[in-house]
Chain A
Amino acid sequence: MATTERLQSGGVGDAVLRKEDRKFVTGEGRYVDDLKLPGMLHAAFVRSSFGHAKIKSIDASAALAMPGVHAVLTNATLPVETGVLSASNPGGDVRHPEQAILAKEFARYVGEPVAMVIADDRYLARDAADAVHVDYDPVPVVVDAEKALEPGAPLVHAEYDSNLAKTLEHVTDGFADVLAKAPNKISLRVVNQRLTPMPIETRGCIGDWSNSTGEVTLYTSTQVAHFVRTFVSIVCGTSEAKVRVVTPDVGGGFGAKLNTYREEFAICAASKVVGRPVKWIEDRTENAVATIHGRDQVQYYEAGVDDNGKILALKFDAVQNNGAYNQLLTPSISHLTLFMVPGCYDIQDVSITIRQAFTNTTPTDAYRGAGRPEATHGIERLMDAIADDLGIDAAEVRRRNFIKSDQFPYASATGLSYDSGDYQATLEVALELSGYAGFEERRAEAATRGKYRGIGLSTYVEVCGLAPSAVTAALGIGAPGWEHSTVRLHPTGKATVITGTSPHGQGHATSWSQITQTELGIPFDDVEVIHGDTAFQPYGLGTYGSRSLAVGGIALYRSLGKVREKARELAAHLLECSVDDLEWTGSSWQVKGSPDRAKTIQELAYAGWTSASLPEGIEPVLEATTFHDPPNFTFPFGTHVCEVEIDQATGRVEVVNYTAVDDCGNVVNPMIVDGQIHGGIIQGLGQALFEETVYSEDGHMLTPTLVEYLVPSAADVPPMTLHRTTTPSTSNPMGVKGIGEAGTIAASAAIVNAAVDALSVIGVRHLEMPMQPARIWNVMQEAKS
Chain B
Amino acid sequence: MIPSTLEYTKATSLDEALAAVKAGARPLAGGMSLMPMMRLRLAAPGAVVDLGGVPELVGICEDGDEIAVGAMTTHRSVANDPLIRQHCHVVAQAAAGVGSMTIRNRGTIGGSLAHADPHGDLPAAILAAGGAVIVRGSGGERRIDVGDLITSYLTTSLAEDELITQVRLPKGAGQSAYAKFHRRAIDWSIVGVGVSIGANGVRAAAIGVGDRPMRLSAFESVLNGGGSLDDAIAQAGEGLSPLGDLDGSTEYKLHLVGVLAGQAHAEASSR
A33 to chain B, nearest CB (A): 13
Question: Given A702-B246, A778-B249, are A710 and B184 also a contact pair (CB < 8 Å)?
Answer: yes
Contact A650 B259 (CB under 8 A): yes
Task: Tell me if B199 is interfacial: C-beta within 8 Å of chain A.
Answer: no
Task: Tell me if A96 is interfacial: C-beta within 8 Å of chain B.
Answer: no
A767 to chain B, nearest CB (A): 16
Q: How far is the CA of A365 from the CA of B246 in the complex (A)?
A: 25
Chain B contacts for A123, CB-based, 8 A: 2
Interface size on A, residues (CB 8 A): 29
Chain A contacts for B266, CB-based, 8 A: none
Interface centre among B2, B41, B188, B249 (most CB of A within 10 A): B2
Interface centre among B5, B184, B186, B246 (most CB of A within 10 A): B184
Restricting to A112-134, which residues have a CB under 8 Å from any CB of B?
122-123, 126-127, 130
Task: Tell me if A283 is interfacial: C-beta within 8 Å of chain B.
Answer: yes
B238 to chain A, nearest CB (A): 19
Contact A285 B184 (CB under 8 A): no
Indicate which residue in A126, A651, A777 contacts B1 across the interface (CB closer than 8 Å): A126
Chain B contacts for A778, CB-based, 8 A: 249, 252
Interface centre among B41, B248, B249 (most CB of A within 10 A): B248
Q: How far is the CA of A713 from the CA of B187 in the complex (A)?
A: 11
Task: Tell me if A690 is interfacial: C-beta within 8 Å of chain B.
Answer: yes
Contact B185 A774 (CB under 8 A): no
Restricting to B158-212, which residues have a CB under 8 Å from any CB of A?
181, 183-188
Chain A contacts for B188, CB-based, 8 A: 707
Contact B246 A283 (CB under 8 A): no
Indicate which residue in B1, B4, B186, B247 contacts A283 across the interface (CB closer than 8 Å): B1
Contact B5 A127 (CB under 8 A): yes
Closest to B44 in A: A130
Restricting to A684-733, which residues have a CB under 8 Å from any CB of B?
690, 694, 702-703, 705, 707-708, 710, 712-713, 715-716
Restricting to B47-64, which residues have a CB under 8 Å from any CB of A?
none
Q: Is the interface of B mostly helix, strand, loop or mixed?
A: loop
Chain A contacts for B4, CB-based, 8 A: 127
Chain A contacts for B247, CB-based, 8 A: 772, 774
Contact A773 B181 (CB under 8 A): yes
Task: Tell me if A649 is interfacial: C-beta within 8 Å of chain B.
Answer: yes
Chain A contacts for B181, CB-based, 8 A: 650, 652, 773
Q: How far is the CA of A650 from the CA of B256 in the complex (A)?
A: 7
Chain B contacts for A773, CB-based, 8 A: 181, 183, 248, 252
Q: How far is the CA of A650 from the CA of B257 in the complex (A)?
A: 10
Contact A708 B246 (CB under 8 A): yes
Chain A contacts for B184, CB-based, 8 A: 690, 710, 712-713, 715-716
Contact A774 B187 (CB under 8 A): no
Closest to A126 in B: B2
Question: Given A127-B5, A285-B1, are A715 and B185 also a contact pair (CB < 8 Å)?
Answer: yes
Task: Tell me if B40 is interfacial: C-beta within 8 Å of chain A.
Answer: yes
Contact A774 B5 (CB under 8 A): no
Interface centre among A122, A712, A716, A774 (most CB of B within 10 A): A774
Chain B contacts for A650, CB-based, 8 A: 181, 256, 259
B203 to chain A, nearest CB (A): 23
Chain A contacts for B185, CB-based, 8 A: 713, 715-716
B83 to chain A, nearest CB (A): 29
Q: How far is the CA of A716 from the CA of B182 in the complex (A)?
A: 11
Q: How far is the CA of A650 from the CA of B247 in the complex (A)?
A: 12
Task: Tell me if B106 is interfacial: C-beta within 8 Å of chain A.
Answer: no
Q: How far is the CA of A777 from the CA of B183 in the complex (A)?
A: 14
Contact B183 A122 (CB under 8 A): no
Question: Given A690-B184, A708-B246, are A777 and B255 also a contact pair (CB < 8 Å)?
Answer: yes
Chain A contacts for B1, CB-based, 8 A: 126, 283-285
Chain A contacts for B5, CB-based, 8 A: 127
Chain A contacts for B248, CB-based, 8 A: 772-774, 777
Contact B183 A772 (CB under 8 A): yes
B40 to chain A, nearest CB (A): 7
Chain B contacts for A713, CB-based, 8 A: 184-186
Q: How far is the CA of A341 from the CA of B40 in the complex (A)?
A: 43
A128 to chain B, nearest CB (A): 12
Question: Given A715-B184, A773-B248, are A122 and B2 also a contact pair (CB < 8 Å)?
Answer: yes
Chain B contacts for A710, CB-based, 8 A: 183-184, 187
Q: Mark B240-266, 1 if CB is under 8 A from A, else 0.
A: 000000111100100110010000000
Indicate which residue in A283, A702, A777 contacts B252 across the interface (CB closer than 8 Å): A777
Closest to B186 in A: A713
Q: How far is the CA of A555 from the CA of B206 in the complex (A)?
A: 62
Chain B contacts for A285, CB-based, 8 A: 1, 40
Q: How far is the CA of A257 from the CA of B255 in the complex (A)?
A: 43
A685 to chain B, nearest CB (A): 12
Q: How far is the CA of A708 from the CA of B246 in the complex (A)?
A: 9
Chain A contacts for B249, CB-based, 8 A: 774, 778
Chain B contacts for A708, CB-based, 8 A: 246
Closest to A704 in B: B40
Chain B contacts for A777, CB-based, 8 A: 248, 252, 255
Q: How far is the CA of A772 from the CA of B90 in the complex (A)?
A: 27
Q: Mark A428-462, 1 if CB is under 8 A from B, else 0.
A: 00000000000000000000000000000000000
B112 to chain A, nearest CB (A): 17
Contact A690 B2 (CB under 8 A): no
Closest to B253 in A: A774
Chain A contacts for B246, CB-based, 8 A: 694, 702-703, 708
Indicate which residue in A130, A651, A712, A772 contacts B41 across the interface (CB closer than 8 Å): A130
Q: How far is the CA of A690 from the CA of B185 in the complex (A)?
A: 12
Q: Mark A640-659, 1 if CB is under 8 A from B, else 0.
A: 00000000011110000000
Contact B186 A690 (CB under 8 A): no
Question: Given A127-B4, A708-B246, are A690 and B256 also a contact pair (CB < 8 Å)?
Answer: no
Closest to A651 in B: B252
Restricting to B1-51, which residues have a CB under 8 Å from any CB of A?
1-2, 4-5, 40-41
Closest to B184 in A: A716
Contact A774 B40 (CB under 8 A): no
Indicate which residue in A122, A284, A649, A705 contacts B259 across the interface (CB closer than 8 Å): A649
Closest to B40 in A: A285
A690 to chain B, nearest CB (A): 7
Closest to B256 in A: A650
A651 to chain B, nearest CB (A): 8
Chain A contacts for B256, CB-based, 8 A: 650
Chain A contacts for B2, CB-based, 8 A: 122-123, 126
A530 to chain B, nearest CB (A): 35
A288 to chain B, nearest CB (A): 12
Q: How far is the CA of A713 from the CA of B99 in the complex (A)?
A: 12
Q: How far is the CA of A715 from the CA of B247 in the complex (A)?
A: 19
Q: Mark B65-94, 1 if CB is under 8 A from A, else 0.
A: 000000000000000000000000000000
Q: How far is the CA of A649 from the CA of B184 in the complex (A)?
A: 18
Q: How far is the CA of A58 from the CA of B142 in the complex (A)?
A: 51
Restricting to A529-580, which residues have a CB under 8 Å from any CB of B?
none
Closest to B259 in A: A649
Closest to A715 in B: B185
Chain A contacts for B187, CB-based, 8 A: 707, 710
Q: How far is the CA of A701 from the CA of B246 in the complex (A)?
A: 12
Chain B contacts for A702, CB-based, 8 A: 246
Closest to B247 in A: A774
A92 to chain B, nearest CB (A): 39
Q: How far is the CA of A709 from the CA of B252 in the complex (A)?
A: 20
Q: How far is the CA of A241 from the CA of B249 in the complex (A)?
A: 58
Closest to A705 in B: B40
A455 to chain B, nearest CB (A): 24
Interface centre among A126, A650, A651, A708 (most CB of B within 10 A): A650
For the A-B complex with A285-B1, A707-B188, A773-B181 known, give 8 more contacts whose Cβ atoms are closer than 8 Å: A122-B2, A130-B41, A650-B181, A651-B252, A710-B183, A715-B184, A716-B185, A773-B248
6 contacts between A and B (CB under 8 A): A122-B2, A130-B41, A652-B181, A773-B183, A777-B248, A777-B255
Pick the 10 closest A-B CB pairs, nearest first.
A774-B248, A715-B185, A774-B252, A649-B259, A716-B184, A283-B1, A123-B2, A710-B184, A777-B252, A710-B183
